[in-house]
Structure formats: structure tokens, C-alpha cells
Amino acid sequence: MTRATTPGLIISAPASGSGKTTVMLGLLRCLTEDGVAVQPYKCGPDYIDPAFHRAACGRESFNLDSWAMSAGVLAAQVTRGGDMALAEGSMGLFDGVPLPGETGNGANADIAALTGWPVVVVLDASGQSQTAAALAHGMATFRADVPVAGVILNRVASPRHERYLRHGMAQAGITVFGCLPRRGDLTIPERHLGLVQAVEHPDLETAVTRYAAFLRDHVDLPALRAAAASHYQPAAPVLPRPPGQRIALARDAAFSFAYAHLIDGWRAQGAEVLPFSPLADEAPAPDADICWLPGGYPELHAGTIAGAGRFLAGLRQFARTRPVHGECGGYMVLGAALIDRDGARHEMAGLLGLVSSYATRRMHLGYRLATLAAPIPGHGAGTRMRGHEFHYSTVVSQPDPPLAAIIDAEGNAVPEGGSHRGPVSGTFLHIIAEAT
């Protein structure tokens, strides 16, 4: 694969809820319509936004994570070509964890410093005018190694409000790429893990088209394109180790949280990925080497999964002779039962003893560093894996031995270490990369 440096921009903000995703999707569509081969990225551990990126521009979106990814793993993602890179941040520009990981603490700012992609700050201007310039100036000067190109001001109340905002930004020496009037109708539906999945959006194409038209009317697109830059000197790229030569991968609305960089890396090293849909009552390919169940929203489809006789029988048959691994939602499906938010119990595959419940919701969120106590497909006992956990389920029972010793990004032990039984393993950890 040819590796080259691509000029880019990072769309970030002072905080979540500032309007980054609307701006990102509108820009991706505008640039694509203008003939630009724009390569999208998502900073941080997010598996929902990249599908929206793909819908907006037609190119697969890849995650960039300074806490979980080494320089080599990042190099394999950042150098994917295109005319221009566009990365969407998560949370605020400088938000990360206290203890650094592979190449940083997980902040969007780390990716900007590494790549030289200038940051465009989406700033919610609600309830302020010139004070917004002080915030933008602080973000532009907080880290000398993080280039800030300018701002897009969002939720601007009136022409007068815009004049005051622009005056303050001019005094602070901050470039304004655009001012977006307040619009209550340009929103994306959400649920407990963030946005609804792209495949579930009632009319995503219409929504993205409206975002693009909105940005064309209010953002200086040529100036944005001219601001794209890079000083990246890529390290030798490192690709993830495939868990098998022929990989049966569950892929549908209940099992959609699989990172694109992992699947793409498996294929790049010659592995064959064989998707199947448990919701369509499909069994894993009988000639696959291993079966992998990623996370997703099985709790929304628990009744369908419990009634998918061919899927469950095929999975149990597969596990008699070959490895099966589940991540988060996939782990729950490998367990004995899943209790939904209404308290109804749904029998799952029974390959592990786990019983999980959404009847009493509790958020589990954050980076995780796991040391495997038993092997999983592609990784032996003792391997250290970096990833994250994000779910609202609770463990009712888990009689099998723990799969891993896990700590969070502050060094605290995480009591939930997954479990394993014979060739079957599972954990709430979403793997991002092997730790160096």
C-alpha cells in the first residue's frame, strides 16, 4: 500500500454538543460534491460516527487514538491517501485521560500535534459575544504544538450577534471561517451510547444533503480547503494481527461496533472476512477458522436473537471445535441470558455463564488496558491489549474464570475481566490495538 502524507483539518470544539458532527457531515458532502477525495477520520474510541462519515462521502472512516494506538498503528491509518483528510474530534479539543498511553492521552490535540493538521474549532456562541473570542484565543494558545486555523461559530442568534462575534474574533486575531445561524431542525437522533446508528436513521441522505446546503450558505469552503496542511513524518506502519485466516464476523444492526482499522488490517494481511447476520438467523460460515462477535445493540434485539434458532445452533456447533470471541454486546450474546430493560429474560447461546441485565442500568465508560489470562483468537495469554468500555449493562452472574486483568486509564483495577470457557471467550472490552 502506498503511504503518503495528506493535508488535512481536524474539526474539534471546546466541548461535546457544540455541533461538530453536523459540521463534519456537511463538509464531507460539500467537499465530495466539489470533486475532492476527502478521507474521513474520527478521533478517539467511537464506532458510531464513522458510519455517518461513510454515508456522507462514500469513503470508509478510520479511528485515530493517541492513547490506544502506537506511532506505527497511527501511521497505518493517517496515510490512507485522498486529496484531503478531515478528522472529527470527540469531546473537547484537549480532553483526555490523566495517564498517557501509546502516543498521548487520547485528546484530539495529540492527533493535531502529530499530523500537523490544523484545528477548526466549532464554537457554540449561544449566550455570548466577544467572550467567545477569549475562549477561541485560549484554545489557539494553550499548546504551542497544536495549530488552530480558526473557528466556525455555531448557533448565532442574529446578524447583530454575528457582528459582535466577528469583531471580537478580529481583535483576538482568530480567523472566522463561517457563522451558522441557530437552527433547531438540524439534529441527529440519539440513544444511550450516542447517536442512533447510521443504518437506523429514518432519512440520512436527506439530512446530510440539508447539512451540506446549510454549510454552503454560511461557510467559506475555499478558505477551509486552503487551510488544510500537514507536517506528518509517518513511522513504519503496523497492521493488526488477524485472529484467523478465515474470520466469521457477525455484522448487522445488533453487531455493528467493529473498528474499520481492524477489519481493513486483517484483510490487508491476507485474511478473509466472512460476514453473517444473526438477526437474519444466519450461522457463522462452517469453514471459518474463528468466529468474532463485535459489540452493538443486542439489548434492542434480544427477543429476535433468542429466537434465531439457526444462528444459535450454528454458533454452538462452531464452538465445539473452533475459537469464538465476543466483545461487549457479542459477549452478552455468548452468555446464558440477557435481561432487557423491562426485566424480561432472553436465553442466549449459553457458551459462557454470563447473565447480563439492562433492567438496572449503570454506565461503564473509559479506556482499558487488559492483560490476557487466557488466549483469544490471534493473541496468547499474557498479551496486553488497549481498548475501551462503553455500555450500560450490569453483570448478574459470571461463573467462568476471568479472561483478563484490566485496569483503567488512571491505573485502577476494573472488577469486570470478562470470562472464558474452552475455546470461547468474551469481555466488555472493545479492542483497539495491542499494547507495545
- The listed CATH number (1.20.58.1690, 3.40.50.880, 3.40.50.970, 3.30.43.10) that belongs to domain 246-434: 3.40.50.880
What is the model's pLDDT at position 5? 76
DSSP notation for 78-142? HT---SEEEEE--SSTT---SS--SSSSS-HHHHHHHH-PPEEEEEE-TT-STHHHHHHHHHHHS
What is the model's pLDDT at position 2? 42
| Spans in the chain with pLDDT lower than 50 | 1-2, 191-192, 194
What is the model's pLDDT at position 1? 39
Could you check whether 8-227 and 246-434 share the same CATH topology?
yes
Residue 349 bridge partners (DSSP):
none
Helix (H, G, I), strand (E, B) or coil at 211: helix
For the chain, the structural domain boundaries read: 8-227, 246-434
Full-model pTM? 0.94
Catalytic residues: 328
Neighbouring residues of 351: CB distance < 8 A, sequence distance ≥ 6: 315, 316, 319, 324, 334, 335, 421, 424
Question: Is 248:290 a contact under the CB 8 Å cutoff?
Answer: yes
What is the model's pLDDT at position 203? 75
Instruction: Write the class of the CATH domain 8-227.
Output: alpha beta
What is the model's pLDDT at position 42? 97
What is the model's pLDDT at position 4? 54
What is the model's pLDDT at position 321? 97
- Which three three-digit cell numbers place residue 315? 454458533
Tens digit of each residue's pLDDT (9 = 90 or more) over 175-210: 999 999 998 666 665 544 545 665 565 678 999 999
What is the model's pLDDT at position 361? 79
Tens digit of each residue's pLDDT (9 = 90 or more) over 375-393: 999 999 999 999 999 988 9
